[in-house]
Amino acid sequence: MTRWLRKPAPAHYPWILIGLLWMVSFLNSADRAILNAVKPLLRDAFAITDIQLGVVDTVFFWTYAVCAFLFGRIGDSVRRRNMVLFGLLFWSMATGFMPVATGFAMLLGMRTLVAIGESTYYPTATALISSWHRPAMRSRALAIHQTAVFAGGGIGAWAAGGLADAYGWSMPFIVFALLGGVVFGLLIFTLRDDAPAAAAAQASDAPKEEPLRIILANPAALTLCAAFCLATAASSAVLNWCNTYAHDVLGLNLADSALVGPVMITSAGFVSVLVGGWLSDKLAAKSVTGRMTVLALGLGIAGLSLLPFPWARSVLTVGALLFATSFGKGLFDGCIYAAMHDVMPDSARATAAGLMTMMGFLGAGISTVALPAIAVHTGLAAGFAMMAGLYALAVIALLAGRPLVRRAIALMEGPR
């Protein structure tokens, strides 16, 4: 099969690539979701508090944030295929070693290693996808890939909860680490990064400008980073604590808590991210700011769906609100990376995605530890409702940034 990598890629390879990276993205999200599913067991096993568990999440997010930017920049300078393979192997091994933790400090250290490994993936993978898919189909390709995030988060949390209920908190880490090794064995023979458009850009004699300088000189890109930061902060706080809310407040076991929380959230996102990708491509064909319309619409729905949370009293109502807020966020997720890649040349896309991811995970780290601290005084339900304010700020930024996006796309070389 290595000879296959030396031959020109078949015409349908861009969609083969989506299938290959979908598996990697699924594991990236599933491995991240395991901790959320087993938090109640870890709290008892290590005699730690919700605040300490929030600190573990925050350190994970902030480590991921900084490393995503660094690895994104590297992803614009090395073979993107190698970056994906390295990251998958690294975070799978780190996940597999999580059960050696015997206390809070080791839990924090092992989770940090997982964050380093996982941060290598998304900026480089989305840039790789955009290099293989033309702009008219870019949102849909990235949206299909994005469904793996929701599938991994939901199925991963549900499976981890079931394994933990049956075999203890360490078992899901071992199982998903082994799955990572299987996928790595498949990708090493099939993943390639010789997209014709990227190859032409690399062969050009034009001087290569520093990617970070390109991004910092682009107000549209910075606006998208700000919106992503606010949106990710809000959604991550809800996702990371809905399991605990369902377990502690609604009295559900770990597997059922995952069904009400992460599975409900990720099921809605799985569907809506495809809708967002399709709608974004359609509107972008009519207007250069079409993707911004979908982004703002999605976050508006997400925020409004959180406001009634303090009055939700039943499993059905809680599940419905989580489904609705995730549906809105999924519309946003279906086109945010395509929107960024629209205003960036291929040579800077991994760096731009890395910077945007860094901003999002910095925000997620703050909100994830702030929410349980707020909940001490208000309860988790009221804390969830407060996250709507972050969505509102993101919508304002997106609406104000429409002229900036129009100007940035006009300055891009070549047809869209």
Pick left, alpha or beta for residue 312 (phi over 0 → left; psi -120 to 50 → alpha; otherwise beta): beta
Q: What is the pLDDT of residue 309?
A: 87
pLDDT tens figures, 201-243 = 554 444 467 888 889 999 999 999 999 999 999 998 888 787 7
Distance (Å, rounded) from C-alpha 128 to C-alpha 125? 5
| Residue 95: closest CA among 24, 34, 137 | 34
Tens-digit pLDDT profile for residues 53-99: 878 888 888 898 899 889 988 888 888 889 999 999 999 999 999 99
Q: Which residue has the higher pLDDT, 174 or 54?
A: 174
Give the DSSP per-residue string, 218-244.
Answer: -HHHHHHHHHHHHHHHHHHHHHHHHHH
- pLDDT value at residue 84: 94
Q: What is the pLDDT of residue 413?
A: 52
List, in order, residues 6 or more apart from 373 with CB less than 8 Å away: 51, 54
Q: Quick one: average pLDDT of 236-259?
A: 75
Domains delineated in the chain: 14-192+209-409 (1.20.1250.20)
What local confidence, expressed as pLDDT, does residue 94 receive?
94
pLDDT tens by residue, 148-165: 988 888 788 888 888 998
Give ∠ CA 46-374-43 in degrees, rounded to 5. Answer: 10
Flag whether pLDDT at 328 surpasses 90.
yes
Q: How much is the pLDDT for 382?
A: 86
d(CA 22, CA 151): 10
Pick left, alpha or beta for residue 118 (phi over 0 → left; psi -120 to 50 → alpha; otherwise beta): alpha
Separation in Å, CA 236 to CA 152, 229, 233, 403: 15, 11, 5, 29
Half-sphere exposure of 192 (CA within 13 A, CB side): 21
pLDDT at 205: 43
Amino acid type, 15: W
Q: Who's near 356: CB < 8 A, 6+ residues apart?
A: 221, 224, 225, 228, 336, 337, 340
Q: What is the pTM of this model?
A: 0.78
Candidates 344, 136, 330, 124; CA nearest to 223 is 344
Average pLDDT of the chain is 86
Cα gap 45→282, rounded to integer Å? 51
Q: What pLDDT is attached to residue 136?
A: 80
